[in-house]
Amino acid sequence: MTDSEGMAEDATVAPALAAPQTPTQDLANAHDPALDPAPVTVAPVTAAPAADQAPVTLAPRRRRRWPAFVLAAVVILALAAGLVVWAPWVVPPVLRPTGLAAGPSTDNSIAFHWSRPATGPLPDKYLILGQGMKAATVAGTVTAYRQAGLTPASNYQYHVVAVRGGKRSPQSAVLILSTLTPPVSAARLQGSWQVYVKNFVGPRASGYITWQVTPACAVGPCDVMVHASSSSHFDFTMKLTRAGAAYSGHTVTNLGPCGSGANAIPDPVTLKVQIRVNAAIGQNLVWAASSFAGTIVGTTQYVSNSAGGYCNAGTVKASLNGSPG
């Protein structure tokens, strides 16, 4: 079969050819420069166009830009994250102080500490609130506080408030601290006392006398002066020397004459007092005695006068129980 016959038999291909074919022409070997395809300006095409087909110009291929899109997305996300972490117009909250814990205490001081903020900037300062009132201010870099000049054996409540830029945090949880309780022997004996006196040797009698006790020192326990008075004229002044919780002293006083009228004879009495403080309380910054007990002994000598009057020697002993008042 010749090429012309093949062309004639294929009715679907013939109309697609642009020019009639010569039956004797060898299409496989013939070369017509006019039929050469126009040069292509882009990447070469592997399949050459048909001899009679019009030249085809291919559109240039576009390079994919996925890496650029991914890089832009990463940059945007990074910027967004940066704005979240560092945004000067977003003010971090002033965090409530936590972790309050007691430190060492004495009979007139307490100490405690707390934790720094878990996140965010430090506060400018901390306010220390004691008993609901401002007790002190410390710098924001300080996380401990000590207060002195307190009453012994007493409880104190504290809160801490953080302050930054003029704004306050909520108050911390309350912390209750106690000053130490000194021994009774360290109590200060002072002030006004009501002393109950009850005889247990001598005439049966009892009653109250008032003691005004004045320490010889400005602070702490020490020797005292006692000024005693009563409605029955049982008045005297005596120095009591301290030895721990015990006090003792003696004095000579005139409680009254022996006899009356022209026959009255001066009758001096030697008084000896021994007491021991048996309780104390913290009061107005002082560890003060709150109770004592002891004895008082009065001794008189034999006395007489030229008129034949006399008074026998005698001894009276009484118990003492004192309380402030």
- pLDDT tens for 261-297 read 777 888 899 999 999 999 999 999 999 999 999 999 9
- Output the average pLDDT for the chain: 81
What integer pLDDT is reported at residue 15 of this predicted model? 37
SS (H, E, C) the chain: CCHHHHHHHCCCCHHHCCCCCCCCCCCCCCCCHHHCCCCCCCCCCCCCCCCCCCCCCCCCCCCCCHHHHHHHHHHHHHHHHHHHHCCCCCCCCCCCCCCCEECCCCCCEEEEECCCCCCCCCCCEEEEEECCEEEEEEECCCCEEEEECCCCCCEEEEEEEEEECCEECCCCCCEEEECCCCCHHHCECCEEEEEEEEEEECCCCEEEEEEEEEECCCCCCCCEEEEEECCCCCCEEEEEEEECCEEEEEEEEECCCECCHHHCECCEEEEEEEEEEEEEEEECCEEEEEEEEEEEEEEECCEECCCCCEECCEEEEEEEEEEEC
What integer pLDDT is reported at residue 65 of this predicted model? 55
What integer pLDDT is reported at residue 214 of this predicted model? 98
49 pLDDT tier (thresholds 50, 70, 90): very low
Determine the Cα–Cα distance for residues 161 and 170; give it in Å rounded to an integer. Answer: 6
Determine the Cα–Cα distance for residues 325 and 232; give it in Å rounded to an integer. Answer: 19
What integer pLDDT is reported at residue 31 of this predicted model? 47
Determine the Cα–Cα distance for residues 115 and 281; give it in Å rounded to an integer. Answer: 34
The dihedrals phi and psi of 5, each to the nearest 5 degrees, come to -65, -40
* Contact between 58 and 42 (Cβ < 8 Å): yes
* Contact between 286 and 239 (Cβ < 8 Å): no
CATH fold for the domain made of 101-178: Immunoglobulin-like (2.60.40)
The dihedrals phi and psi of 88, each to the nearest 5 degrees, come to -60, -20
45 pLDDT tier (thresholds 50, 70, 90): very low
What integer pLDDT is reported at residue 258 of this predicted model? 81
132 pLDDT tier (thresholds 50, 70, 90): confident
Span 33-49, mean pLDDT? 47
What integer pLDDT is reported at residue 1 of this predicted model? 43
Determine the Cα–Cα distance for residues 308 and 287; give it in Å rounded to an integer. Answer: 55
pLDDT in tens, 298-325: 999 998 887 777 888 999 999 999 999 9
Determine the Cα–Cα distance for residues 324 and 322; give it in Å rounded to an integer. Answer: 7
* Contact between 113 and 144 (Cβ < 8 Å): yes
Q: Which residues pair with 259 in a beta bridge?
A: none
What integer pLDDT is reported at residue 58 of this predicted model? 53
Span 181-209, mean pLDDT? 96
Query: Is 50 exceeded by the pLDDT of residue 11?
Result: no
Higher pLDDT, 39 or 215: 215
Query: Is 80 exceeded by the pLDDT of residue 223?
Result: yes
Extents of the domains making up the chain: 101-178, 184-324
pLDDT in tens, 63-110: 555 555 545 555 455 545 444 444 556 778 999 999 999 999 999 999
Determine the Cα–Cα distance for residues 240 and 221; give it in Å rounded to an integer. Answer: 12
What integer pLDDT is reported at residue 155 of this predicted model? 96
Determine the Cα–Cα distance for residues 114 and 161; give it in Å rounded to an integer. Answer: 11
- Taking the whole predicted model, whether its pTM rises above 0.75 is answered as no
What integer pLDDT is reported at residue 255 of this predicted model? 80
Determine the Cα–Cα distance for residues 109 and 282; give it in Å rounded to an integer. Answer: 13
Determine the Cα–Cα distance for residues 208 and 137; give it in Å rounded to an integer. Answer: 51
Determine the Cα–Cα distance for residues 155 and 150; give it in Å rounded to an integer. Answer: 10
